[in-house]
Every structure is written in C-alpha cells, then in structure tokens.
Structure 1
Amino acid sequence: MVKYCVSRPINGISLNGNEYLLDSKLMIRTFDTIDELRDYLSLFNMSYEEMMDSFIIEEIEV
C-alpha cells in the first residue's frame, strides 16, 4: 500500500537530510492520498504552489 508523507531539507540545505511532518506519537505523519495531504496543509493557509515550493512530497510503501 502506498501512502504519502511531507518533508523538507533541514535548514533549507539538502546536504543536511530531511525533516518530516510528525504525528502526535512522533512518527512520520502519512496520508492516504495527495488530496488528503493537500487538505491538511491548507489548514495552515498555504496555497498548493507554496506547498510545492516548500516541501517534498514522498511516496512510501507501508
């Protein structure tokens, strides 16, 4: 099953690795669909374009 997660380079520098959006249990927050992920991030008043510029959306196998 494929899920989606959100990350960004630590301090904006890709050599530092990525930091991930976490849930309340400090596990990587996953979303079933891209639309679910987009809806969640829109709660923070970000446009889709801002999301794509600021974050990396990754597919993960669970």
Structure 2
Amino acid sequence: MSTLEGLKEIENWEELFDMTNEYLTFLVEQHRVTHDMIIKTTYDIIRNAGYSYTYDDIEREYYNGF
C-alpha cells in the first residue's frame, strides 16, 4: 500500500468492490461490467473521497480478494 502520511485506511475492501459492482450494474448491462471497470471506478470513487491509494493498490486489493 501507499505509505503517505495521513493515509486513510479502507476497512472493508470486499464491501467497497461489491458496492462499485452494484453501481456499475445499475448504469450498464450486467454482462458488460468488467473487472477493469470495477477497479477503475473504485479508484475514482476513493480518490474523490480523499484516499491516497494508487490504481495499482486498488488492483492488487481487488485481485487478492477474488
């Protein structure tokens, strides 16, 4: 993970990825939601929320959990 001072920690990655998947499924047809879309959208969401994770951090967490 990134080691920036003041880094907010995410407690429940599985729930975050599930919520992102539900959000994307609402926007597009379910069979069109890809792993890359979930990772990129999750990255955008947490960056906008002030977290300092990198795209690679998000991708690593996603594939470690699934």
Tell me if TM exceeds 0.5: no
Q: Please, what TM-score do these two structures have when normalized by structure 1?
A: 0.35
Instruction: Select the structure that is richer in strand.
Output: 1
Q: Please, what TM-score do these two structures have when normalized by structure 2?
A: 0.33
